C-alpha cells in the first residue's frame, strides 16, 4: 500500500511537467550524446588548422563539408524514421558518429592528414542529426498531443543543454588536464554512453518502430519528404520559419566574437561567459515556452515570443552593448538572456508542423529538420555577404528584418481544420492548438 502510494505522485509529477515517462531515458541519453557532440565546438576549427589543415580557411572547408552532411542528415532523419523506425535511425546515427570519429581521430588528426579530415569528419556529420532528430520524430509520434509542445521543449532542453552549453563547459575542464586530443576522445566516450542509455533504455518503448504503412518503401518515403512541398505548401513555409529561427544565431557568431571581445572591450573570457549565459537561458526557456504553447497555442507562441521577441532581442543584443561600452557588461548579460529566452519561442514549431500534415508527419519532420540544418549555412552566408557592405550593425538590421518576415510567415502556419476559415485566422490561438491536432 505504501509503495503504491509513493509511486503515484511520481507519475503525476512527470505528467505535470510534460516529460513522457516511457522516453525519459531517451532524453537523458540525448543530453549525454549532445554533450559529447558539443565538446569540440569551441576549439575544433583552430585545432585542425594547427594540426594538418594548415590554415583557418582550409579548416573552414572541413567545417563546411561537415555542415553539408548535417543538413542532409537532418532531412533524411524524418524520411528514414518513417520506414525504418526512429529507433533504427538512431542506431545508424550512433554507429556513424562513433566509427568515423574514431577514424578521424586516429588517421586524420592523428597523422595530420587534411584529405582524411575532409572525408572522415565530413561523414561523421551524418551522425548526430540521425540520432537526435530521429528521437525528435519518436517524440512527435508518441507523446500525447495535448502536451506535445512541452515534450518537444524537453527535447530542446536536452539538445541545447549538450550542444554547445555543457559540451563547451566539459572541454573547459578537460583541456587543461588532458589536452585537446584527450578531450576529443572523452567526447567519443560520452557519445557511446548517451547512445546506450537512450537506445537500450527505451528498447521496448512504443513509437520507435516503423511509422509508415506496410507498402511504403524507403524511396517512396524520401519522395514524400520532397512531395510535401507541393502537397502541403504551408509546411514549406514552416521550413522557412525554421531556417530564420536560428540563422541569425549562427550568423552572429561570425562577427560578434571579435566585436564584443576587441571592439567593445569585454575580452575573450567575458565574451565566452556571455555566450554560455545566452544558451544557458535558452535551455530553461525551451521548457517554459514548450509548456506555455500547450496553453496559449503553438502558433501564437512562435509568432509573439519567437519571431517578434527575437526581432527585438537581436537588435538589443548588438546595439546596446556596443553603444554603452565595456563598463556595462551586466547590460550585455541581460540583453543576451533576452535573446536566449526569445530564441526558445520557436520551440513549438516542431509540434505544429508535423500536425499540419497528419498523413505525412515524417515528410513534414524531414522538411522541418532540413530547415534546421539549412540555418547553419544561411546565417553565416548572410553575415559574410553583407558584413563588407553594411558592417555589423547593418547585418544585425538584416537579421531583424528576417525575424519580422518570420512573424508574417507564421500567420500562415495553420492546422488543416483551420485553413480557409477567416474566423480562425483572426483568432489564431485562444486555446491550445495541440488539443485539436489530428
- Give the residue carrying C-alpha cell 509508415: 212
Mean pLDDT lowest among 27-36, 56-65, 132-141, 276-285? 56-65
Q: CA 129, CA 134: separation in Å to the nearest integer?
A: 7
Mean pLDDT lowest among 15-29, 264-278, 364-378, 420-434? 420-434
Q: Which pLDDT score, from 0 to 100, does residue 425 have?
A: 38
Mean pLDDT computed over every residue of the chain: 87
Q: CA 253, CA 274: separation in Å to the nearest integer?
A: 12
| Residue 234 and residue 193 share a domain | no
For residues 128 and 93, the answer to whether their CB atoms sit within 8 Å is yes
Q: What is the mean pLDDT of residues 163-176?
A: 86
Q: What is the DSSP string of 69-131?
A: HHHHHHHHHHHHHHHH-HHHHHHHHHHHHHHHHHHIIIIIITTT-HHHIIIIIHHHTTHHHHH
Q: Which pLDDT score, from 0 to 100, does residue 11 have?
A: 52
Percent of the chain with pLDDT over 70: 92
| Residue 258 and residue 165 share a domain | no
Percent of the chain with pLDDT over 90: 53
Q: CA 52, CA 72: separation in Å to the nearest integer?
A: 26
The yes-or-no verdict on residue 141 having pLDDT over 50 is: yes
Q: Which three cell numbers stand for residue 209?
A: 518502430
Residue 331 lies in a domain: yes
Q: Which pLDDT score, from 0 to 100, does residue 257 have?
A: 81
Q: What is the CATH number of the domain that holds 198?
A: 1.20.1250.20
Residue 349 lies in a domain: yes
List, for residues 293-352, the tens digit of each pLDDT value.
Answer: 999 999 999 999 999 999 999 999 999 999 999 999 999 999 999 999 999 999 999 999
CA 107 to chain centre: 30
| Residue 247 and residue 195 share a domain | no
Cis check for the bond before 164: say yes or no (omega within 30 of 0): yes
Residue 168 lies in a domain: yes
Q: CA 26, CA 30: separation in Å to the nearest integer?
A: 6
The yes-or-no verdict on residue 426 having pLDDT over 50 is: no
Q: Which pLDDT score, from 0 to 100, does residue 12 have?
A: 65
Choose the final residue of a domain: 183, 211, 239: 211
Q: Which pLDDT score, from 0 to 100, does residue 197 have?
A: 95
| Residue 410 and residue 284 share a domain | yes
Residue 428 lies in a domain: no
| Residue 158 and residue 73 share a domain | yes
| Residue 340 and residue 191 share a domain | no
| Residue 139 and residue 255 share a domain | no
| Residue 195 and residue 341 share a domain | no
Q: What is the DSSP string of 295-360?
A: HH-HHHHIIIIIIIHHHHHHHHHHHHHHHH-GGGHHHHHHHHHHHHHHHGGGTTHHHHHHHHSGGG
| Residue 252 and residue 198 share a domain | no
Q: Which pLDDT score, from 0 to 100, does residue 421 have?
A: 45
CA 298 to chain centre: 18
List, for residues 228-267, the tens digit of each pLDDT value.
Answer: 999 999 999 999 999 999 999 888 887 888 788 889 998 8
Its pTM surpasses 0.85: no
Mean pLDDT lowest among 188-192, 245-249, 403-407? 245-249
Residue 26 lies in a domain: yes
The pLDDT confidence band at residue 186, using thresholds 50, 70 and 90, is very high
Residue 431 lies in a domain: no
Q: Which pLDDT score, from 0 to 100, does residue 378 have?
A: 85
Q: Which pLDDT score, from 0 to 100, does residue 429 have?
A: 39
Residue 270 lies in a domain: yes
Choose the final residue of a domain: 211, 242, 259: 211
Mean pLDDT lowest among 29-38, 63-72, 396-405? 63-72
Residue 427 lies in a domain: no
Domain residues for 360?
216-415
Q: What is the mean pLDDT of residues 373-377?
A: 83
Choose the final residue of a domain: 211, 231, 250: 211
For residues 8 and 19, the answer to whether their CB atoms sit within 8 Å is no
| Residue 246 and residue 129 share a domain | no
Q: What is the mean pLDDT of residues 136-163?
A: 88
- The total number of residues shown for the chain amounts to 438
Total domain count, the chain: 2
Q: Which pLDDT score, from 0 to 100, does residue 375 have?
A: 87
| Residue 329 and residue 206 share a domain | no
The yes-or-no verdict on residue 39 having pLDDT over 80 is: yes
| Residue 132 and residue 42 share a domain | yes
List, for residues 45-97, the tens digit of each pLDDT value.
Answer: 888 989 999 887 788 788 878 888 988 999 899 889 989 999 999 999 999 99
Q: Which pLDDT score, from 0 to 100, does residue 5 have?
A: 42
Q: Which pLDDT score, from 0 to 100, does residue 428 have?
A: 39
Intra-chain end-to-end CA distance of the chain, in Å = 39
Question: At 204, is the secondary structure helix, strand, or coil?
Answer: coil
Amino acid at each position: 500500500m505504501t509503495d503504491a502510494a509513493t509511486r503515484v505522485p511520481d507519475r503525476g509529477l512527470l505528467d505535470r511537467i510534460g516529460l513522457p515517462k516511457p522516453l525519459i531515458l531517451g532524453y537523458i541519453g540525448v543530453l549525454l550524446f549532445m554533450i559529447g557532440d558539443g565538446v569540440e565546438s569551441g576549439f575544433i576549427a583552430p585545432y585542425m588548422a594547427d594540426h594538418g589543415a594548415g590554415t583557418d580557411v582550409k579548416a573552414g572547408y572541413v567545417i563546411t563539408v561537415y555542415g553539408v552532411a548535417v543538413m542532409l542528415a537532418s532531412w533524411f532523419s524524418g524520411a528514414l524514421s518513417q520506414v525504418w523506425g526512429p529507433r533504427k535511425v538512431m542506431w545508424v546515427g550512433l554507429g556513424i558518429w562513433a566509427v568515423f570519429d574514431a577514424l578521424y581521430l586516429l588517421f586524420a588528426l592523428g597523422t595530420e592528414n587534411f584529405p582524411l579530415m575532409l572525408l572522415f569528419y565530413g561523414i561523421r556529420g551524418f551522425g548526430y542529426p540521425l540520432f537526435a532528430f530521429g528521437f525528435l520524430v519518436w517524440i512527435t509520434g508518441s507523446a500525447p498531443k495535448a502536451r506535445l509542445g512541452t515534450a518537444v521543449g524537453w527535447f530542446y532542453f536536452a539538445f541545447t543543454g549538450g550542444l554547445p552549453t555543457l559540451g563547451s563547459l566539459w572541454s573547459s575542464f578537460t583541456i587543461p588536464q588532458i589536452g585537446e586530443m584527450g578531450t576529443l576522445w572523452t567526447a567519443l566516450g560520452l557519445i557511446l554512453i548517451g547512445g546506450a542509455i537512450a537506445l537500450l533504455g527505451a528498447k521496448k518503448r512504443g513509437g520507435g518502430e516503423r511509422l509508415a504503412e506496410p507498402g511504403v518503401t524507403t524511396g517512396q518515403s524520401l519522395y514524400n519528404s520532397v512531395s510535401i512541398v507541393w502537397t502541403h505548401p504551408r509546411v514549406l513555409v514552416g521550413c522557412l520559419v525554421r531556417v530564420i529561427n536560428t540563422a541569425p544565431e549562427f550568423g552572429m557568431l561570425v562577427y560578434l566574437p571579435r566585436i564584443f571581445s576587441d571592439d567593445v572591450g569585454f575580452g575573450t573570457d567575458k565574451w565566452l561567459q556571455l555566450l554560455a549565459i545566452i544558451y544557458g537561458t535558452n535551455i530553461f526557456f525551451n521548457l517554459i515556452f514548450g509548456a506555455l504553447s500547450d496553453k496559449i497555442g503553438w502558433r501564437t507562441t512562435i509568432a509573439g515570443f519567437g519571431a517578434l521577441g527575437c526581432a527585438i532581442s537581436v537588435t538589443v543584443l548588438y546595439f546596446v552593448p556596443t553603444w554603452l561600452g565595456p563598463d556595462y557588461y551586466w547590460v550585455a548579460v541581460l540583453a543576451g538572456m533576452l535573446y536566449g529566452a526569445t530564441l526558445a519561442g520557436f520551440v513549438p514549431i516542431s509540434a505544429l508542423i508535423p500536425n499540419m500534415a497528419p498523413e505525412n508527419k515524417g515528410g513534414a519532420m524531414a522538411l522541418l529538420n532540413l530547415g534546421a540544418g539549412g540555418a547553419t549555412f544561411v546565417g553565416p552566408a548572410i553575415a559574410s555577404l553583407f558584413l563588407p557592405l553594411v558592417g555589423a550593425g547593418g547585418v544585425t538590421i538584416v537579421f531583424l528584418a528576417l525575424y519580422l518576415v518570420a512573424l508574417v510567415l507564421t500567420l500562415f502556419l495553420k492546422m488543416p481544420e483551420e485553413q480557409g476559415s477567416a474566423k480562425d485566422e483572426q483568432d489564431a490561438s485562444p486555446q491550445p492548438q495541440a488539443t485539436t491536432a489530428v
